[in-house]
Amino acid sequence: MDADPPQLDDHLEPFRVSVNQILTTVNKLEKQVTEVEQFYESTDNVQGNNSKGGSLAKEKGREKHITGTKKPLQDASHTEASSAKRMQELMRQFSTILRQITQHKWAWPFMDPVDVEGLGLHDYYEIIDKPMDFGTIKSKMEAKDGTGYNNVREIYADVRLIFKNAMKYNNEKNDVHVMAKTLLEKFEEKWLQLLPKVAEEEKRQLEEEAQAQLDIQLALETTYANKAKDISTELCEIDMHLKSLKEMVIQQCRKLSTQEKKMLMSALGKLSLENLYRALDIIAETNPMFQPSSTEDVVLDLDAQSDYTLWRLKAFVKDSLEEQVKVNAGAGINPNDNPDDKKNKKRRDSGDSSGKTNPKRKKLSTL
């Protein structure tokens, strides 16, 4: 028994597979292009951010998944760890100053939080916005849960706050005011001795963080530049693949019958003005000899067009007319009517409230 002749679907299956592969690749490339675009759009914002606090951590957190930034991020982490050790040494030296101040015979009123209720200081919280004491400072310095101090200046500010609060609440003749003022002066003297080291370390941290951010940014730019290059290469490969498919389609296109050409010509006459121009552009793409005239009349010889062009036209006309059916259905227009029919023209003109006349429609004629 003879085998059944190959079905049309058998011929189309290789094309379906190829088109699906191309669509999958294009979808992937679209996501990559979006990612590259978002990076370059945000680059100016990152470079223009003058805030140093936490900016490096944010950059590291945002881009740690990018392979090209692995080494710069590692270097930044090492630099950050070294900086933290140096700051810990400064805090150790600052602790010596605190110990000297807290061991003074007049330091006892400031060691614990003010007993507002016990001392009957009913207006204390109305005058003092942020109470502070050495016990609270010590707890924050020893905290391991991320609630402690980040640098020496934060501790310095809280120590000054202890004495400033006492001087603000108590008048100048009060013993507590005198004790706070005396201890503040001693504290400031010792702080001035440590301040040059603190300033030097702060400057060094800013320089190191700026360099780390620059290294990460350069690595990111290199990564995304390479990604953009890879995308371009893949797009070229897709373009070549599409050209190959186009050649295969051209080779397998059967010739349209005379009746099919007549039906196509009739269908062209039912296109909207916009779709008609697009149809003429399809012909011009593959037939350099065909130049749509700027006048109303266009002479179209379907027999002079390639099979590939005719099949493209047929597919385009079919889709366009189906779309026109959907658009015209709500307006009560019969899609099978010729768009040049006077009744339809009158309906369109009467529905145009702008007062403008419709552009003249091209008239198609065959040789």
pLDDT higher at 75 or 323: 323
When the pLDDT of each residue in the chain is averaged and rounded to a whole number, the result is: 79
* CATH class held by domain 9-252: mainly alpha
% the chain with pLDDT above 90 = 29
- The pLDDT-based confidence of 66 (bands split at 50, 70, 90) is low
Q: How sure is the predictor about 5, in pLDDT bands with cuts at 50, 70 and 90?
A: very low
| Of residues 75 and 329, more confidently modeled | 329
- Residue 333 has a pLDDT of 59
Higher pLDDT, 49 or 279: 279
Position 30 scores a pLDDT of 87
Maximal C-alpha separation, the chain: 122
Q: What is the pLDDT of residue 263?
A: 92
Does residue 362 register a pLDDT over 90? Answer: no
Q: Where does 149-222 show beta strands of DSSP type E? A: none
Q: What is the Cα–Cα distance from 186 to 286, expressed in whole angstroms?
A: 91
Q: How far is CA 98 from CA 104, 160, 291, 294, 354, in A?
A: 10, 11, 91, 91, 83
- Residues linked to residue 365 through DSSP beta bridges, in sequence order: 299
Q: At 353, is the pLDDT very low, low, confident or very high (cuts 50, 70, 90)? A: very low
- Map out the domains of the chain as residue ranges: 9-252, 258-365
Q: E-strand spans in the chain?
A: 297-299, 363-365
Q: Average pLDDT of 258-276? A: 90
Among the listed ranges 53-57, 64-68, 97-101, 217-221, which one has the minimum average pLDDT value?
53-57
pLDDT at residue 181 above 70?
Answer: yes
Say what the pLDDT of residue 188 is. Answer: 96
Buried b (16+ CB within 10 A) or exposed e, 60-94: beebeebebbeebbeebeebbeeeeeebeebbeeb
Kindly tell me if the per-residue pLDDT of 241 is higher than 70.
Answer: yes
pLDDT top residue among 108 and 26: 108
Q: What would the mean pLDDT of 58-74 be, rounded to a whole number?
A: 56
pLDDT at 73 over 80: no
Residue 342 has pLDDT above 70, yes or no: no
> In the chain, pLDDT over 70 holds for what percent of residues?
75
